[in-house]
Structure 1
Amino acid sequence: MKNICILGGGSWGTALAVVLAKKGYHIDLWLRDKKQCDEINNARENLKYLQGILLSNNIRATNDIIRAVSNKKIIVSAVPTHAVRETMKLIKSHICGEPIIVNVAKGIEMNTLSRVSEVVAEEIPNAEYTILSGPSHAEEVARDMPTTVVAASTKKAVAELIQDVFMTPKFRVYTNPDVIGVELGGALKNVIALGAGISDGLGYGDNTKAALMNRGFVEIARMGEAMGANKMTFAGLSGIGDLIVTCTSMHSRNRRAGILIGQGYSLQKAIESIGMVVEGIKTAKASYQLSKKYGVTMPITEEIYKVLYEGADVKNAVVKLMLRDKTHEIEDIVNEDQLFW
């Protein structure tokens, strides 16, 4: 249990390695790029993704995935959502027993519209699954700034084990049995963060952003309920908590990409400028498709999808949202027969 594997040496995977190393765990940090592995091991710093953070000698970078996962009870998957299935295929014949896969990616698989838990279950059915999610920028976690997250699993004992492994005086971990809700909250808020960034890029103010965040939250909860999540989960860390931080912080890749798009950058130019995976771009397409599949009304998501994938004008998208048919604020729970005003 003192040896943990982290698959993916981006900023978040590295930040979690820092957290665990401070607790005395020995971390095998897997990256594909051997040159980057050597750089991390020699400089004791991830210069590409997390500059300025000294890495403990308890962290060893490797590009040998078999070595990384061998004899590990806990395997943290910190690769982007689109790479999860491929990565699970690579490791499944090299793990033993019933490992705990801790997913920290926030997205939906594009072609299948599967949540990450479903992808892991298909590829490694003997694994226990947990998702670790919440308002947690890697840059702040690595610098030991107080942060709270949630560990969700269908098994209480598994969630509590991961809670114990990751919990520190500066990194507080709650537990939650609602895997669907925690996964969807973390994934769908990235789409709304793109919208918040677009609003900023257009030069709109706080009123506009507040409206996007609030009505975006309604969309997230609406979709979550349709897919079997508990609505209360979206009032928690992986819902409104993650939505706030991702829509308001310049650490957020999704918000920064949205700002560039609002300023007139093409989608490709915005992605190139960010230089890291922007999960919300793929998730916008997946969530739009899910809204059609489940018959869920998601007007903000739909307009963002059209801006990203159909070349819709961003200013016209805002106008269309503002001119939608008038309705009740709490339209999902208000029954017309119960209104007496």
Structure 2
Amino acid sequence: MTNTTTKVAVLGGGSFGTVLANLVAGNGISCALWMRNEQRAAEVMNSRENAEYFPGFILDKRLNITSNFDEAIEDAELIIMAVPSSAYDTVCSQLEQRISRNTLILSTAKGIRADGFRLMSEVIQEHLPHNPVGVLSGPNLAKEIADNQYTATLVASASTEVVEASQTALASPTFRVYAGDDPQGAELAGALKNIYAIIAGITGSMQLGQNTVSMLITRSLAEMCRLASELGAEPMTFMGLAGVGDLFVTCTSPLSRNYRVGQALGQGKTLEQAVAEIGQTAEGVATLKTVYDKAQELGVRMPLVDGLYRLIYEHVEISEIITSLMTAQQATDVEHKVKGI
């Protein structure tokens, strides 16, 4: 796959899809950004600006923006899925019978479907069982990528073709793409950290100290590894960009949508008010109940997830939840250790 022969299609014109498509076009690779709304696609194409997400950010003149699905995916060797997780089944159904088995798919949504605890790559493979699939995950705030802040991400896949194609398409002087071979772990990490970002937003609104933030992030990581191990993922994946990296940035930055939902909850707003205030998809809200149910089913101890679930769905007071967390039976700090080092 070379820059002169590659066409990439990015499906989804939200904040992340827009910056990824712009990276590809900036590398001189033919790229189409598909937006579902015809009027918005025309406006962005004409103005070279996605004003809804990045006012003032001028898109590369080589980037094609279209609402025509067939036009966007025609001859694409790599398709980047940047639609919300709730739209994956619909978009993948559209791809069936339209693309060849050789077309590479890269998933970017950080969610888990409640029906069968399905990861997004699994949803893709149910519709496109013969296509190589990879997962992109990491500390990747879209606005900072658009501002050319130095950023790194992980592309994890069993297919070296997907990894190499993604690196060719996306890598730039300010955006570094690392390779990984544990897509399940990367995808779980990306989805789970959204829950803890909501909790971090709540603590942020309460103006708690750095000791508390540090405790929250490290205990969040412990819970993530605990569930991942039970599900068969590699806990060491959580020590990299998709785990610690993404967890840290999402739990500390007000640019994170899930963090902002938490801030609103901490200010006493209802979940509905918090989500409406953000105005964008915050995957952690839907992921919370799915993960809570799975942890209950498997008997995995996840006290932070339990606490947030009780706050949102059982309307327990924050003070009561904090007290129960801090006075619970003392537990082991590090549960997963690398032997032989």
Q: 1:2: Cα distance to partner?
A: 2.6
Identity over aligned residues, as a percent? 36
1:60 to 64, 80, 95: 64
Does residue 19 of structure 2 align to residue 40 of structure 1?
no
Say yes or no: does 1:73 pair with 2:77: yes
Q: Which of 261, 264, 278 is residue 260 of structure 1 equivalent to?
A: 264
Matched, 1:206 2:205: no
Give SS of 2:133's match. Answer: strand
Counterpart amino acid of residue 194 in structure 2? N
Match for residue 336 of structure 1? none
Q: Deviations over 1:140-197 (max 9, x none)?
A: 1112111000110012343223222221121111101001110011110110111000
Partner of residue 144, structure 1: 148
Matches within 5 A, 1:156-167: 156-167=160-171
Question: Where do 4+ consecutive residues of structure 1 move more than 6 Å?
Answer: none
CA-to-aligned-CA distance 1:10-47 (integer Å, 9 cap, x gap): 00000101111110122211111111111101111000
Task: Compute the TM-score of the two structures, normalised by the length of structure 2.
Answer: 0.94
Q: For 1:1-341, what aligned pairs fall within 5 Å after superposition?
A: 1-330=5-334
- Are the aligned partners of 1:167 and 1:173 in contact in 2 as well (CA < 8 Å)? yes
Q: 1:338 aligns to what?
A: none
1:75 maps to a residue whose letter is I
| 1:330, distance to aligned residue in structure 2 (A) | 3.0
Partner SS state of residue 132, structure 1: strand
- C-alpha separation in 1, matches of 2:94 and 2:309: 32
Task: Tell me how far 1:209 sits from its aligned partner.
Answer: 1.7
Deviation at 1:97, TM superposition (A): 3.1
Give TM-score scaled by structure 1 length: 0.94
Partner amino acid for 2:25?
Answer: A
Give 1:242's aligned amino acid: D
Per-residue deviation, residues 94-142 of structure 1 (Å, max 9, x unmatched): 1123211111111111222101111111011121101111001110111
Unaligned runs of 5+ in 1: 334-341
**2:19 is matched by which residue type in structure 1?**
A
Would you say the 8 A contact 2:135–2:183 is kept in 1? yes
Aligned pairs, how many?
333
Q: Tell me which amino acid in the other structure corresponds to 1:320.
A: S
Secondary structure, aligned partner of 1:75: strand
